[in-house]
Structure 1
Amino acid sequence: MMKGALYDQLWIHRQMLQDRVRCEAYRRAIADTVKTGDVVLDMGTGTGILSLFAARAGARKVYAIERTSIVDLARRLVRINRAEEQIEILQGDMENMDLPEQVDVIISEWMGPYGVDENLLPSVLIARDRWLKPGGKMLPERVTAWMAPAWDSELAREMSFFQARPYDLDLSLITRYTAQEVWYAQHHISLEHLLAEPQPMWTTNVCECSLEEARGPFQALLSFSITHPGKLNALAAWFSAELGAGHLLTCAPDAPKTHWGRTVCPLDRALEVAPGTDIAVEFACEPGEPGWSNTRWSVRIGEGDWEHHDQERALI
């Protein structure tokens, strides 16, 4: 499903609004970043929650851009909260907009499960280059994607079902496609499921990143050494976002629960690994159209052969 179609639907906005960790982190960062009298741009405003935070922080004007039909709800919420004098909601693609003034702060929640994978950052940077005043603020300022080898018991149960000849039929082919899928919102993955120290895949500095860099691909070559013995069947990924003014938002395994959770990239099969085992990973996030990117990952355990995975080969 494309981002536009997804964000036309109320359920995803309910999910984000009920994510108190996400919303409170943004609320605090906006309160400490937006000054009285500032002009603010909210990219991808959705229901307008971040714009309302900016208005409460003292913004003189908030331009809230949203391409989907959820803007009708946002306008009503702005009126109900008596912020219509401060917040102007504009529907359409940012590239076709023409703001009447430059802005002091750009706020946006563009992060996918490992940061850049929803491919919304390019639009934010175009807005930055067009409308942000010299010395203006970007929120978030910096986003880092992380990864670690992991054991995912839910993935293991899923694979085992199709390998066990259910209904006296050979359905094992399904596991081949399952191993190409990216598994989102895996909230059960905690620190105890990680088999090696997490490593950063990439960091995106939103204030300095070029448009060319934002369009990817994003690639990482990682070398892990197993620190905890156990079974390995996946790579777990997440992000941490430096929102500004010292505020951090993360969906790491040891952090309070968010709607993102962890994202899991399966291996072909589960293997026992001992401390000191080397794990090599080649990982790529290849942005496509807005709202979508393709993920590829290759893994080598010890001196074994490489196994290769490509999200486009999954039946999705």
Structure 2
Amino acid sequence: MTDLKTFQQHLRKQVDKTIKGDRKGDKEILPRRHLRAETSPSNCYQFHSCLSQQQSLLQDHSRTATYHKAILLNDVDFRDKVVLDVGGSGMLCFFAVQAGAAKVYSLQSGPMAKHTQSLVQSNGQSGQILVLNQDLDSAVCPEEVDVLLTEPTGHLLLSDPHVQTVLRAKKCLKPGGLIFPTWADLHLAPFSDEQLYFENYARAAFWQQRNFCGINLSSLHNSAVDEFFRQPIVDTFEVQILMSRSVKHRINFKEAAPEDLQRVEIPFTFTLQQSGLVHGLAFWFDLAFQGSKATVWMSTAPTEPLTRWYQVRCLFQTPLFSKMGQTLTGRVILAANDRQSYDIHITGTIDQSGFTSGNVLDLKNPFFRQNQCVYVCVWV
């Protein structure tokens, strides 16, 4: 407990130092690393209908090249076959045609159906690619298909509700048909990052002001801290901050039903490979495309080239003191909510000391962060 009190005192000093900052006139400048959100999960389908967002997807070389490679390397699975592409820009339809598909249905909703039809006509593929403008959740394909193509993933794998749409679309798949991607491995590992923890705490410094236009805001400071700590942090990091090998949880898209993803529970046991403070858990995922000739992988791990999904980190409310060789045990529960997203429940215990910490985070409301300095103005 003495160590914990010492740490809390150190934390308060760091926050006070941040608040004082460099003053310019009647404003206080606080540096913050920030990444603007690429997605607004409040309306998944409107987001995917924006050409600017589809451009972001297509310009992600790791993503696009992996899909292209997986399809062309497994051309035997597409040659003379019927394919269904769910959502996206329709680009996967063209990849399927390049692999020899006889017919490809492109299931789209809203403006993206018009955009995809334009691409199909301008590229002379109207005879092979048929665009279906239907609601994605209740769509019906004119016939059973041999292959289902899709990109169901979001930040922390499950942040995009499109994954549920894909699982429902399996009703169009022939028995023994293929799904690309075939499965996903969600990885998690403990990390230590004191700067991130202090920075996240300092984001609430605005609410410590006692004279904001004559108003005392300090009564809301604790609530602001709680809210910021409920935000998963989307960014990237150096692998050296990881304190253990990762644990993985596999989701098999071919076998999973929509109800299987209503509650995803991942127990973990980590043997810590360094001493220090455990500030939370880091998440990333791998995708596997299993065809008849080759299995192609794409990884969003911090050791791999950066993708549009980055990695995701979830902070504990209070860091856990640990020593090398000790074990951290607990569980992560992803519980589906009525906001087309998940609540992330994390609990962890250092077995040798009995210290326990955790958090409940809102995957609907992530904080996007990168190594880019911008400025937040705080009135004093």
The bucket for the TM-score relative to the shorter chain is 0.7 to 0.9
SS in 2 for 1:2: helix
SS in 1 for 2:267: strand
Scaled by the length of structure 1, the TM-score of the pair is 0.87
Is 1:105 the equivalent of 2:154?
no
Cα deviation for residue 117 of structure 1 reads 3.6
Q: Which residue of 2 aligns with 1:158?
A: 199
Alignment CA distance shift 1:300-1:179 (3 Å): farther
Cα deviation for residue 267 of structure 1 reads 1.4
Amino acid across the alignment from 1:205: N
CA distance, structure 2, for counterparts of residue 228 and residue 141 of structure 1: 35
Amino acid across the alignment from 1:304: F
Contact 1:119 1:288 in 2 (8 A): no
Contact 1:145 1:237 in 2 (8 A): yes
Note the residue ranges of structure 2 that are not aligned, 5 or more in a row: 1-41, 211-217, 368-380
What RMSD, in angstroms, separates the aligned Cα atoms of the two structures? 2.7
Contact 1:113 1:239 in 2 (8 A): no
Contact 1:3 1:292 in 2 (8 A): no
Correspondence 1:161-180 to 2 at 5 A? 161-162=202-203, 170=218, 172-173=221-222, 174-180=224-230
Q: Which residue of 1 aligns with 2:158?
A: 116
Pair member with larger Rg? 2
Q: Which residue of 2 aligns with 1:295?
A: 344
Q: Which residue of 1 aligns with 2:241?
A: 193
Contact 2:145 2:177 in 1 (8 A): yes
Q: For residues 48-91 of structure 1, give each alpha carbon's deviation from its aligned partner in whole angstroms, at most 9, with x where no partner exists.
A: 11111112111111111122422222222223333222111112
Aligned equivalent of 2:297, options 243, 248, 260:
248
Alignment CA distance shift 1:300-1:68 (3 Å): farther
Contact 2:270 2:328 in 1 (8 A): yes
Is 1:60 the equivalent of 2:107?
no
Amino acid across the alignment from 2:121: R
Alignment CA distance shift 1:274-1:82 (3 Å): farther
Cα deviation for residue 154 of structure 1 reads 6.1
Is 1:137 the equivalent of 2:175?
no
CA distance, structure 2, for counterparts of residue 156 and residue 212 of structure 1: 35
Q: Which shows bigger deviation, 256-265 or 5-14?
A: 5-14
Alignment CA distance shift 1:287-1:160 (3 Å): closer
Amino acid across the alignment from 1:194: L
Q: Which shows bigger deviation, 169-178 or 11-20?
A: 169-178
Cα deviation for residue 162 of structure 1 reads 4.1
Q: Which residue of 2 aligns with 1:74?
A: 116
Contact 1:51 1:62 in 2 (8 A): yes
Alignment CA distance shift 1:155-1:117 (3 Å): same
Alignment CA distance shift 1:101-1:159 (3 Å): closer
Q: Which shows bigger deviation, 242-251 or 2-11?
A: 2-11
CA distance, structure 2, for counterparts of residue 246 and residue 167 of structure 1: 54
Q: Which residue of 1 aligns with 2:5?
A: none
Amino acid across the alignment from 1:58: G
Alignment CA distance shift 1:195-1:315 (3 Å): closer
CA distance, structure 1, for counterparts of residue 153 and residue 348 of structure 2: 25
CA distance, structure 1, for counterparts of residue 195 and residue 50 of structure 2: 28
Q: For residues 244-275 of structure 1, give each alpha carbon's deviation from its aligned partner in whole angstroms, at most 9, with x where no partner exists.
A: 23100110111111110111111124455321
Q: Which residue of 1 aligns with 2:254?
A: 207
SS in 2 for 1:256: coil
Is 1:309 the equivalent of 2:346?
no
CA distance, structure 1, for counterparts of residue 140 and residue 53 of structure 2: 28
Scaled by the length of structure 2, the TM-score of the pair is 0.73
Is 1:216 the equivalent of 2:262?
yes
Aligned equivalent of 2:68, options 23, 27, 43:
27
Amino acid across the alignment from 2:85: D
SS in 2 for 1:149: strand
Alignment CA distance shift 1:309-1:167 (3 Å): closer
Alignment CA distance shift 1:98-1:230 (3 Å): same
Q: For residues 21-64 of structure 1, give each alpha carbon's deviation from its aligned partner in whole angstroms, at most 9, with x where no partner exists.
A: 011111111113343211100111x2111111112111111111
Correspondence 1:267-306 to 2 at 5 A? 267-288=316-337, 291-301=340-350, 302-306=353-357
Q: Which residue of 1 aligns with 2:55?
A: 14
CA distance, structure 2, for counterparts of residue 251 and residue 314 of structure 1: 21
Note the residue ranges of structure 1 that are not aligned, 5 or more in a row: none
